Structure 1
Amino acid sequence: MSDAPITPAPAAPDFTALGLAEPLQRALQELGYTQPTVIQEQVIPLVLAGQDIAGQAPTGSGKTAAYGLPLLQKLDLQLDAVQAIVLVPARELALQGRDELKRLGKYLPNLRVAAFYGGHGFQDEAKSLKQAPHVIVATPGRLFDHLDRRTFIPNKLQVLVIDETDKLLDLKFQEALANIVARLPRRRQTLLFSATMPDKVLDLVRKNLTRPRHIEAGDTGESLPESLTLLGYVGDAEKKPAALFHILQKPETGRALIFCNTRQRCEELARFLSSRGVAAEALHGKMPQPERDKALLKLRNGSALALVATDVAARGIDVQDLDTVIQFEIADKADTFQHRAGRTARAGATGTAHILATPAEQSQVQRWPLSKEVKWDKLHAPALPPAAKTIKPTTVTLHVSAGRKDKVSAHDLVGALVNVAGLQRDEVGRIEIFDHYSYITVPREASKAVQSSMAGARIKGQKVRVTEVR
């Protein structure tokens, strides 16, 4: 046996080595982020150094924090001006990005982050600009409206982030992006991120970035995370509904996102599942925004077990720890197929993606390189059991008629449920507070008693109504 000393393996990198300020490190510690992802380790020092970035990274790689942390550190919080703009393709991504930046910047004094998007009151957004946010996370169409109407002047802008660039271009935002960039200061830092780098994205990089560093982080090719299990089932189309129902009854399925190709099929499938006792919601682009918000909320807090969605509606949805994805209908392109499957098993978590395919659909999938990872089996469709035996959520969502504009906090809501409704603190689940109303998750068996005891109750001096979200 050799007496030569054993060289210890190099320590895994942590956030303290990346040059981040103490308030940001404190927020990361509170959020449970101990080690940076590959893209965070590469991007953060470059952004702090003022470098333009063209980053390619898969979904769930942590790129929001990769650009968000150094972006926040570069802000002058004493300056009452918009200093950073983040462009994203969908309303849900704008809200998700705003909330993530607020969490990361929790300990930065006076930080203001706003989300601008279509379907939200333009005048409300314009009023919020009277005390300018330091960061705006926006969809291109709405941001261009603000720039065109000169509701704010971006003359103090330091950083422009273009996120999900391939999706922005797929959604035909090329003209809006060009118009926005033309109205921004030329002397700025530009950070561009995309899951793929087709020619149209590379053309955008050439036109808008100055000597960018190209970063590839994680597996950006036609493959899927190692922690994802892909299971395919082949059979007749008429067997799919019963097979889907059978998959949803398994306890390990957990929260499921189900993909369909059309709005009509989404609604039909959600009605079918609901008729069999499964708490299912539909999500598609033609739904009013409040209904879309409600469907997502119920999946996030566990009062719905399944969300049946189209690709456009599902892009960028904010559902953490999604256990299962089911492709009830097959996507028409390989990258869409991969994007669907990648909604689960994110950031190292495990997940399962099921594919319900006819023989023709299986042939289509097998033409794609990533199909080698699919474990195929025969499509079994067990008889539908009585509805009484189906799995139902143990929680329900309650709507409270008071929100952020009424100065109501999560602490106030928990206090009311404990002191007025008699719940234990650990029985109060997820709370989400909006401008004029809030949502709270409570045990199903306590719902009626909570509603009854809260009738006429006051929170922050305001009488509130509490009703179950159906």
Structure 2
Amino acid sequence: MPSFADLGLAPYLLQALEELQFVQPTPVQEQVLPLTLDGQDVAGQAPTGSGKTAAYGLGLLQQVDVKNDAVQMLVLVPARELALQVRDALKKMGKFLPNLRVAAFYGGHAFGEEKASLTQAPHIVVATPGRFLDHLERRTIIPNQLKSLVLDEADKLLELGFQDELVEIVKRLPRRRQTLLFSATMSDKVLELIRKNLTRPRVINLGEDEDRLPENLTLLGHVGPIELKPAALLHILRQPETGRALIFCNTRERCMELARFLQGREVAAEVLHGKMPQPERDKALLKLRNGSSQVLVATDVAARGLDVTLLDTVVQYDAPDKADGFQHRAGRTARAGAAGTAHILATPKEQSHVKKWPVADSIKWSDMKAPKLPPAAPKAPKPENVTVHVTAGKKDKVSAHDLVGAFVNVGGVAREQVGHIEVFDYYSYVAVPRGQVQDVVQRLLGAKVKGKKVRVSIVQ
């Protein structure tokens, strides 16, 4: 097996990979990286979790000229969550490349914030097509020095209706460029996209998404009438090993109904669906990540691109229509070598549909366990931690370390009780014990972090 050094990577990338504990290239990295470094166009079919972000990302990073203040690399992705995930991965892999600038642009927040960040052009842009086209039309980004274009999750880009935006964006890019395309499936529409936009591409096929599931994933199926599903779900969530859980429903109405049901039975549940404003979606995800909630009830908007580490359990409350939907949902747990469990609650009719898919062969089926439901509680449950919002972030040179210092030294929280911290460009979130939160907010009233006066408020 070749090493990353054998693939011709620069020392600054090898140093970052060593720190990230990337020991051996995955098959997609082994095949794609040499082609990317050679400047060839690539059309890759690769399943989720195969390491394709590093496969194209390392090649982009090696070809960036950090002395040139221009957008040189563009990665188009279907969702805001994936844009942030790819941006962060590129930053980590490019950690030892001096003055590297990587930016993520996406809808759902003020355009002005992104425009203000463009006083110096980023070397690499990761963006959703609609927002990137906005920048092109307003001439806040002029991509006349672009070297490489990546279309990541091309099947999803087309499924979400970005065809027109892709055509318009490609028209405005330099013709002499490298183009890389990655897709979980190679539908006729994806093949047409390849034909129109790639020049003599090398084709890499490592199997469809639906052929692969994480190695450490346990698949459990529970069969029974639809009226037993709520009690069966509650039974699963009350098992100690269930931990942090993501529950999938097919409609947003079902998500909201199910979250209310769980909250009434003392389960700290949040909702996530595509009609929610972006800040509300961010907040729901954040609460799951930092332990302010145990459960996130979501539509398939959460099936791709979400960065929820240490997710113990997935429950498919409604059976999906297609095998790839089943795979994407189940694959949100047991990531990066960790163990996880994916449950599916199915009526006999749903079970017979699911059994047609090869990906479902390893499901261990049993009858639903549905103990008698307890009466609904008068109030929603209160988790141990509460999330607070701080009006300072990366653009203010504030780090997680700075926030820990403020919450310990000024807020009076014991260091070991400061929970999960997430720092964004203009604000941050910190988890603190519920019993102390009012006192913490009061103590930090008018306090300064890194010389900036901040406001601290409880996230409801």
Pair in the same fold by TM > 0.5: yes
Of 433, 453, 456, 1:463 maps to: 453
Q: Which amino acid aligns with 2:251?
A: T
Shift in Å at residue 39 of structure 1? Answer: 1.5
1:162 corresponding residue in structure 2: 151
* In 2: Cα distance, 1:106 partner to 1:197 partner: 34
Q: Which moved more, 1:418-427 or 1:20-29?
A: 418-427
Q: Which moved more, 1:30-39 or 1:63-72?
A: 30-39
Q: Which amino acid aligns with 1:360?
A: K
Residue deviations 1:329-374, cap 9 Å, x none?
1111222122111222223332211011111211221232323222
Contact kept in structure 2, 1:38 and 1:218, CA below 8 Å? no
Q: Percent identity?
A: 69
Of 302, 319, 332, 2:291 maps to: 302
Local SS of the residue matching 1:348? coil
Q: Which moved more, 1:66-75 or 1:114-123?
A: 114-123
1:40 corresponding residue in structure 2: 29
Contact kept in structure 1, 2:150 and 2:179, CA below 8 Å? yes
* In 1: Cα distance, 2:291 partner to 2:184 partner: 29
2:72 corresponding residue in structure 1: 83
Q: Which moved more, 1:139-148 or 1:83-92?
A: 139-148
2:4 corresponding residue in structure 1: 15
Q: Which amino acid aligns with 1:425?
A: R
2:125 corresponding residue in structure 1: 136
* In 2: Cα distance, 1:171 partner to 1:351 partner: 29
Q: Which moved more, 1:84-93 or 1:267-276?
A: 267-276
* In 2: Cα distance, 1:65 partner to 1:372 partner: 30
Local SS of the residue matching 1:343? coil
Q: Which moved more, 1:313-322 or 1:329-338?
A: 313-322
* In 2: Cα distance, 1:292 partner to 1:267 partner: 14
Of 338, 344, 348, 2:337 maps to: 348
Of 37, 50, 59, 2:48 maps to: 59
- Give the number of aligned pairs: 458
Residue deviations 1:237-281, cap 9 Å, x none?
111111111111112112111111111111111111112121111
* In 1: Cα distance, 2:330 partner to 2:17 partner: 28
> TM-score normalised to the size of structure 1?
0.91
Shift in Å at residue 79 of structure 1? Answer: 0.4
Contact kept in structure 1, 2:318 and 2:345, CA below 8 Å? yes
1:24 corresponding residue in structure 2: 13
Of 89, 98, 113, 1:100 maps to: 89
Q: Which moved more, 1:377-386 or 1:413-422?
A: 377-386
Contact kept in structure 1, 2:222 and 2:346, CA below 8 Å? yes
Shift in Å at residue 33 of structure 1? Answer: 2.2
Structure 1 residue ranges without an equivalent (≥5): 1-11
Contact kept in structure 2, 1:39 and 1:218, CA below 8 Å? no
1:333 corresponding residue in structure 2: 322
* In 1: Cα distance, 2:50 partner to 2:430 partner: 30
Q: Which moved more, 1:71-80 or 1:227-236?
A: 227-236
2:257 corresponding residue in structure 1: 268
* In 2: Cα distance, 1:448 partner to 1:35 partner: 48
Contact kept in structure 1, 2:210 and 2:324, CA below 8 Å? no
Q: Which moved more, 1:451-460 or 1:53-62?
A: 451-460
Local SS of the residue matching 1:152? coil
Structure 2 residue ranges without an equivalent (≥5): none
1:4 corresponding residue in structure 2: none
Contact kept in structure 2, 1:259 and 1:327, CA below 8 Å? yes
> TM-score normalised to the size of structure 2?
0.93
Note closer, same or farther for the CA distance 1:430–1:321 as it changes in structure 2 (3 Å cut): same
Note closer, same or farther for the CA distance 1:392–1:366 as it changes in structure 2 (3 Å cut): farther
Q: Does 1:419 align with 2:446?
A: no
Q: Which amino acid aligns with 1:459?
A: V
Note closer, same or farther for the CA distance 1:444–1:42 as it changes in structure 2 (3 Å cut): farther
Contact kept in structure 2, 1:240 and 1:356, CA below 8 Å? yes
* In 1: Cα distance, 2:150 partner to 2:336 partner: 22
Q: Which amino acid aligns with 1:413?
A: L
The equivalences for 1:14-413 within 5 A come to 14-217=3-206, 220-384=209-373, 393-413=383-403
Shift in Å at residue 150 of structure 1? Answer: 2.6
Q: Which moved more, 1:400-409 or 1:266-275?
A: 400-409
1:9 corresponding residue in structure 2: none
Local SS of the residue matching 2:336? helix
Note closer, same or farther for the CA distance 1:214–1:314 as it changes in structure 2 (3 Å cut): same
* In 2: Cα distance, 1:396 partner to 1:17 partner: 48
* In 1: Cα distance, 2:401 partner to 2:198 partner: 45
Residue deviations 1:202-225, cap 9 Å, x none?
221122112222223366453433
* In 2: Cα distance, 1:113 partner to 1:19 partner: 23
Contact kept in structure 2, 1:157 and 1:188, CA below 8 Å? yes
